């Protein structure tokens, strides 16, 4: 489980009416654009229980606006289809029944065109509601929450689709013809940070999920972070040194996991004629040694860090470093169209860490737990972040399929230790 399902907006900022309407249209259009290259068959299949069909993502993000905004605020509300309330509910127990997640790929009907018509209907009705002036601040906060929720599903459309296409022996490409630029990574190093009492968590002024609050104090010992995420070249050294065959490097649960699943490399890595290749959204291609390694579980990241003589950072250490940088600085996000981690390719600015935002989500050593004083939002929209605060680890920084304006230094993604289908990598600490 990742933070694909959400909580509440920070209550201190409501954008202007025109800005909200523009953002609504922009975010919804990106989701539609991501589905355009796909056939109806591409959109209906589910490759594993943790992934969902593209058609389900298109419908569920519309279901959010229909359920939490149109139903309570639209005069004379009538659902597009009453069956959708159950069919496209995800985990909202407070809303009612839901279709089982592992069986989303069995729902061939309604067809894709009906789901697209559902999206158009929700768009038109919500824009009409926004332009009517009937929306109170609470409703406008829900619109903003729904848009960030949709941006999470934009990322999931691509991660889930990549897993689906990887299971096809034809190696289909989502965006054929793309080739990464030939970039040499900049020199790796370390950056030191002083210890002491620091504050982490959302500082106010803009949107945040409830699990980013309250802002609170944390004591840190002096530490260092690597200047860049771990690269494919470094991870190849780990593999060639027997990393997957050395139990002393692994947590007990991690060793058991790689044995039971026969993991010998990151997800999507394949050997062809003695050379490593990787499956990407552009098809299969040779591994770029200088790009950040990706699609690692927490266990693999932790074992590599131990092998390398370092460790994973805590989320407080990561946020302490990230608070000094802007998320948009040199990041490779969804908007680049690469949909794949890239080598840095440019010198980092003095006293800044390279690729801290974008490219790959970075595993931390921190278990996903509530901050001191945390309280989930009231009602159904507050269900998801709080109730998953067990058996998960925190990831930070966003990835190459995260929308640029969706990420921030305090953003907490979370996954179980075995998850690999997200664009997850690591940065060393010591």
Q: Give the mean model confidence (pLDDT) for residues 123-151.
A: 92
Say whether pLDDT at 183 is over 80: no
Tens digit of pLDDT for each residue in 310-325?
A: 999 999 999 999 998 7
pLDDT of residue 184: 61
- Measured CA to CA, the distance from residue 227 to residue 351 in angstroms comes to 9
Residue 98 CA, distance from chain mean position: 23
At 329, the pLDDT band (50, 70, 90 cuts) reads low
17-166 maps to CATH 3.40.1000 = no
For residue 328, the model assigns a pLDDT of 61
Please report, for residues 17, 25, 289, 321, 355, the alpha-carbon distance to residue 185 in angstroms, rounded to integers and kept in the order given: 44, 37, 9, 21, 11
In sequence order, the β-bridge partners of residue 362 are 396, 425
Contact residues for 178 (Cβ-Cβ < 8 A; gap 6+): 282, 337, 338
The backbone torsions φ and ψ at residue 216, rounded to the nearest 5 degrees and listed phi first, read -155, 170
What is the spatial distance between Cα 343 and Cα 400, in angstroms, rounded to a whole number? 12
- Token pair for residue 269? 């890595």
Q: Mapping DSSP to helix (H, G, I), strand (E, B) and coil, where does residue 217 land?
A: strand
- Quick: pLDDT tens for 339-373: 999 998 765 666 679 999 999 999 999 999 999 99
Provide the mean pLDDT of the chain.
91
The model's confidence at residue 384, banded by pLDDT at 50, 70 and 90, is low
Interior/surface letters 172-190, b for 16+ CB within 10 angstroms, e for the rest: ebbeeebebeeeebbeeee
Q: Tell me which of 3.40.50.300, 3.20.20.60, 3.90.1580.10, 3.40.718.10 is the CATH number of domain 190-425.
A: 3.90.1580.10
- Digit-coded pLDDT (tens) for 3-16: 334 444 443 344 57
- Report pTM: 0.94
DSSP 385: H
Confidence at residue 312, expressed as pLDDT on a 0 to 100 scale:
98
> Measuring CA to CA, how many Å separate 179 from each of 8, 176, 334, 347?
39, 9, 16, 22
Banded pLDDT at 1 (limits 50, 70, 90): very low
Q: Are 296 and 268 in contact (CB under 8 A)?
A: no
User: In the chain, which residues fall in CATH 3.90.1580.10?
Assistant: 190-425
pLDDT confidence of residue 9: 43
| Residues carrying CATH 1.20.120, the chain | 17-166
């Amino acid at each position: 489980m990742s933070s694909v399902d959400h909580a509440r907006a920070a209550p201190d900022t409501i954008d202007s009416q025109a800005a909200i309407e523009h953002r609504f249209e922009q975010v919804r259009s990106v989701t539609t654009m991501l589905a355009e290259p796909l056939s109806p068959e591409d959109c209906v299949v589910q490759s594993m229980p943790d992934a969902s069909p593209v058609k389900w993502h298109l419908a569920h993000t519309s279901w959010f606006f229909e359920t939490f905004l149109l139903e309570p605020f639209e005069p004379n509300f009538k659902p597009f289809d009453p069956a959708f309330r159950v069919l496209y509910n995800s985990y909202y127990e407070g809303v009612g029944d839901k279709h089982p997640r592992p069986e989303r790929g069995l729902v061939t009907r309604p067809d894709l065109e009906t789901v697209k018509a559902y999206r158009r209907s929700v768009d038109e009705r919500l824009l009409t509601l926004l332009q009517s002036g009937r929306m109170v601040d609470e409703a406008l906060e829900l619109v903003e929450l729904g848009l960030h929720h949709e941006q999470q599903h934009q990322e999931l459309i691509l991660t889930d689709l990549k897993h689906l296409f990887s299971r096809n022996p034809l190696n289909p490409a989502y965006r054929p013809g793309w080739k990464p630029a030939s970039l040499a990574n900049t020199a790796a190093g370390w950056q030191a940070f002083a210890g002491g009492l620091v504050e982490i968590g959302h500082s106010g002024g803009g949107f945040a999920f409830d699990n980013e609050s309250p802002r609170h104090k944390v004591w840190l010992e002096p530490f260092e972070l690597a200047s860049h995420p771990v690269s494919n070249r470094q991870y190849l050294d780990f593999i060639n040194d027997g990393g997957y065959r050395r139990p002393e490097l692994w947590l007990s649960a991690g060793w058991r996991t790689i044995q039971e699943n026969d993991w010998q490399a990151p997800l999507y890595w394949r050997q062809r004629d003695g050379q490593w290749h990787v499956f990407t959204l552009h098809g299969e291609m040779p591994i770029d040694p200088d790009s950040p390694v990706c699609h690692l579980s927490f266990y693999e990241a932790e074992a590599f860090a131990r092998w390398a003589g370092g460790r994973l950072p805590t989320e407080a250490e990561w946020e302490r470093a990230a608070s000094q940088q802007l998320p948009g600085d040199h990041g490779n996000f969804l908007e680049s169209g690469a949909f794949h981690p890239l080598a840095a390719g440019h010198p980092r600015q003095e006293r800044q860490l390279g690729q801290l935002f974008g490219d790959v989500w970075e595993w931390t050593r921190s278990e996903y737990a509530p901050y001191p004083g945390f309280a989930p939002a009231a009602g159904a929209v507050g269900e998801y972040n709080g109730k998953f605060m067990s058996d998960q680890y925190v990831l930070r920084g966003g990835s190459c399929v995260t929308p640029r304006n969706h990420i921030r230094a305090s953003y907490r993604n979370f996954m179980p230790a075995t998850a690999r289908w997200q664009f997850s990598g690591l940065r060393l600490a010591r």
